[in-house]
Amino acid sequence: MMLKMKTFTSVSYKKCILCIFILFLLIVWKITSYGVNDVLTIKYNENQKRFYVNSSNCQMAYVEPFNAEFTKLYTPKNFTRCSNQSDLVTVHFDSILKQYVLHVDEEVLHKLSQSKSNKFACFYQNITYGQSADHYDRMGKKTKFTHDYVVPLNVQGMLVECRSGDEKRILQEDAFSFVQYQKTSPNLDIDRKASVIMYGIDTVSRTNLRRLMPVVFGFLKSPGWYEMMGYNKVADNTYPNIFSILTGYSPNSAKNQICDTTQPGCLDKIPFIWKDMKKNGYLTAYAEDTVFSNIFNYMKPGFLSRPTDYYFRPLLDALEKETIKLYCPGCKMVYCLGRRLANSYIFDYCRQFMQRYVADRPIWGFFWSNHISHDDFSMLSAMQHKIVGDLLNFEKDGSFEHTIMIFFSDHGSRFGPLMRTRESFLEERQPIMFIYLPPWFREKYPRYVEALAQNQNRLSSNFDIYNTLKHIINIEGLVEDTKWSYDCPQCQSLFYELPESRSCSEAAIPEAYCTCHNYEEVQEDHGTWRMAELVVDRINQFLQYHNLQNLCSSLTLKLVNITEVRITESDEHVSLGKGLRHYHTKFQVHQNLAEFFATVLYDRKTEELQINVELISRINIYRPDASCLDDNIQKLFCICLSKLRNNEST
């Protein structure tokens, strides 16, 4: 429920204070009650151990958010503003002109200029798109503007500079992006279809959302929201997990079936879901908040042609190059671009996209935030009010009346202090996945809603999300030859009930990432050391196979941190008549104290070892160690000889 703020007199002051106090109590109740409500949807077994999923082939354990290990290492962070100044220039959309208008605030002007004079000089530079899809072309000439300036339709982004009346002193600099309105084609079939907005935040696990963003979690428990508590990632890092959601392929399968995504032009050939959306009348948009670690540009060639109707990357490229960049303490990614959070730009872009179109035609958009959580898990605590503000603004705009929103992440923390906790295996592999269904959709398709509700406590994966997106396009079943996910023939739309007995293999989740199985700790002995030693040998063989021995150091085992064995085994994984068992091993090597986590099949008697080296996780920061390589898999295992720290190499 949104409250409309009105001007009040001194007579109504006490009533207003009372209303604010009541609202505060409601918010506190919402925040503190999430744990109670959450318990109602968590499965129990006879020993009262809690599970997200508790089925015949999957027991996905629930992690207590504020356990003793976590409270020892966690320090809350406060939100840091990029600027303490009020906005001198603001933007609003004129619904009659169908254009954006720049407004100069006189009160702010007087404050910044330290004068009662209304004299000022404001200029903007147009950010022009070039031939490259992923970069801006140049900055346009400075154009002077005055109060209530109507932004030309060809301007998609601008830098703004306001000076004192004599133009000698800069009062404020800013930047804006615009989703310029395009008229709907008269031939477009505008029968009611659900719009889809995917709002993603990198590196957010289910447990960390509950710990660090309780206000956001409280909002996501509102009517219409469904949490996929059995959602399990299918790959290590961002790229393969997002790729599977958007294409139904793993990168390796796409390489074999379509093209190699590391080669220029390949990404333009991949059958991304936005292409299907566009063919079915959807207007499409894509935005991220960092240039360097962008999903399709980090160690990838990016796109040759603009992939979606609205594409933010060229604007972001200009913002990172033309504005002042600020970094948060301990972070490698940009925190502020000029006066604003990097994340704020993509939220504004998303909100404009929805405001312009969602009531008139179906839209699809993917909006991904990297900088607020990737480098430091505790940053989420500082950002929760910003994120819930985004969601409340969508609600205020009425966008939720038309939109299926997917609020999600790619994985949990993959390195840092959380990787030293007992629950690190679950933390890394259980990203958030929330799906919102608008009221009209719930009323029109009750059986799909019932299935989605049922699936909240069943095992699901990225490929099911892809199938759900395909299902939304063809919600009436008019297209008979719908192509579902390539890499998971047994996966399905989440609008159909998932099998109760579903296993990780049936959801295309490798054992290395599967959180369905219970493991117990094995006391360290010669066998656990020998197993880790053999894993290190396999890593060295991997480096030799790829002819990297002249770039990367051979690794030697320094320490076995923990070893765990799977309690129950099934014939689908273990050959009958052999002593093979599944183990987890977390270990450290001498070289730069690199840390790894591996899932293996191992026979302690015969020392037979089965492992896919490419599924071994590197659980401490490795980018500086592996700067001599570009391959995203090889980087995990490479300690560049040029980066080897001699005091730790023995």
> Per-residue pLDDT tens for 437-465?
999 999 999 999 999 999 999 999 999 99
> Residues 553, 605: one domain?
yes
Question: 35 or 87: whose pLDDT is higher?
Answer: 87
Tell me: pLDDT of 400 over 80.
yes
| CATH number assigned to the domain comprising residue 248 | 3.40.720.10
Share of the chain above pLDDT 70, in %: 89
**Mean pLDDT over the full length of the chain:** 89
Facing residues of 193 across strands?
Answer: none
First to last CA, the chain: 62
Q: Is residue 71 part of a domain?
A: no
Residue 354 contacts residue 197 (beta carbons within 8 Å): yes
Q: What is the DSSP track for 590-603?
A: SGGG-EEEEEEEE-
pLDDT in tens, 276-296: 999 999 999 999 999 988 999
Q: Which residues contact 629 (CB under 8 A, 6 or more apart)?
A: 548, 551, 552, 635, 638, 640
> Residues 552, 635: one domain?
yes
Helix H or strand E segment including 283: strand 283-288
> Residues 606, 482: one domain?
no
pLDDT at 395: 96
Residue 502 contacts residue 221 (beta carbons within 8 Å): no
Q: Which residues contact 624 (CB under 8 A, 6 or more apart)?
A: 643
Closest CA to 635 of 600, 597, 594: 594
Identity of the residue numbered 346: I
Q: Is residue 70 part of a domain?
A: no
Q: Residue 376 — very low, low, confident or very high, per pLDDT cuts 50/70/90?
A: confident
CA-to-CA distance for 325 and 341, rounded, in angstroms?
A: 10
Which among 507, 528, 561 is the end of a domain? 507
> Residues 631, 583: one domain?
yes
Cβ-based neighbour number of residue 587 at 10 Å: 23
Q: Residue 20 — very low, low, confident or very high, per pLDDT cuts 50/70/90?
A: very low
Question: 159 or 480: whose pLDDT is higher?
Answer: 159
> Residues 407, 439: one domain?
yes
Tell me: pLDDT of 359 over 50.
yes
Q: Residue 189 — very low, low, confident or very high, per pLDDT cuts 50/70/90?
A: low
Torsion angle of C-alpha atoms 349, 351, 356, 358, degrees rounded to 10? 130
> Residues 526, 491: one domain?
no
CA-to-CA distance for 626 and 594, rounded, in angstroms?
A: 11
> Residues 476, 373: one domain?
yes
What values do phi and psi take at 225, rounded to 5?
Answer: -95, 140
> Residues 369, 463: one domain?
yes
Token code pair at residue 219:
């909002």
Q: Residue 48 — very low, low, confident or very high, per pLDDT cuts 50/70/90?
A: low
pLDDT at 293: 87
Q: What is the DSSP track for 449-481?
A: HHHHHHHTTS-EEHHHHHHHHHHHHTTT---S-
Q: Is residue 155 part of a domain?
A: yes
Q: pTM for this one? A: 0.90
Q: What is the DSSP track for 327-395?
A: E-TT-SSEEEETTEEHHHHHHHHHHHHHHHHTTTS-EEEEEEE-TTTSS-TTHHHHHHHHHHHHHHHHH
Which residues form the domain of 208? 195-310+345-507
Which among 507, 534, 558 is the end of a domain? 507
Specify the pairing of strand 99-104 against strand 403-408.
unpaired
> Residues 296, 389: one domain?
yes
Specify the pairing of strand 99-104 against strand 120-129.
unpaired
Q: Is residue 173 part of a domain?
A: yes
Question: 415 or 473: whose pLDDT is higher?
Answer: 473
Q: Is residue 476 part of a domain?
A: yes
> Residues 488, 540: one domain?
no
Task: Please count the structural domains in the chain.
Answer: 3
Residue 563 contacts residue 524 (beta carbons within 8 Å): yes
Q: Is residue 354 part of a domain?
A: yes
> Residues 457, 541: one domain?
no
Q: What is the DSSP track for 496-526?
A: SPPPTT--TGGGT--TTT--SS-EEE----H
Size of the chain in residues: 650
Q: Return the DSSP state at 100.
A: E
Find how far residue 402's CA is from the centre of its chain: 22
> Residues 240, 132: one domain?
no
